[in-house]
Amino acid sequence: MDDRVINALFDAAAQVRLRAHAPYSGFAVGAAVRAEDGRVFVGCNVENAAYPSGTCAEQAAIAAMTAAGARKIEALVVVGDGPRPVTPCGACRQRIREFASGNTQIHVGNLAGARQYFSMSDLLPHSFGPEFLPQGS
């Protein structure tokens, strides 16, 4: 994927991160998903008083994508303020996998500008996905 597109996704994730609601952890995260059709959807983490029962940024971006009718992730970017690039949690890795193939691009970064790239297979090897289930179930 073109560096210009990846940079735009990083910018979108960084911008939406500013709208995160993270009063309990203080750890704001932004995510940007590029659907197969080229549309971009963003999400930020939203915590609540029943912490840790909240919504991750990746989950929010995927929900926006599915609400708009898209079903395939071409690339995903996650940005947070950590000492190194912030990767999706385990639950989000499985959520991403639902809409991604093994070679889907996952880019992660932090506010200092560090970036790292993974394929979905790198991030969640030997994963369980929709293709394991009978069609129509």
Residue ranges of domains in the chain: 3-123
Residues 88-121 have pLDDT tens digits of 999 999 999 999 999 999 999 999 999 999 999 9
Q: Rounded to whole angstroms, what are the CA distances from 129 to 16, 114, 137?
A: 28, 30, 13
Q: CATH top-level class for 3-123?
A: alpha beta
pLDDT score recorded for residue 118: 98
Read off the pLDDT of residues 49-89 as tens digits, 9 standing for 90 and up. Answer: 998 789 999 999 999 999 999 999 999 999 999 999 999 99
pTM equals 0.94
Confidence of residue 136 (pLDDT cuts 50, 70, 90): low
Rounded to whole angstroms, the Cα distance separating 116 from 119 reads 10
Tokens read off for 131: 């293709």
Q: CA-to-CA distance for 99 and 101, rounded, in angstroms?
A: 7
Which residues belong to the active site?
58
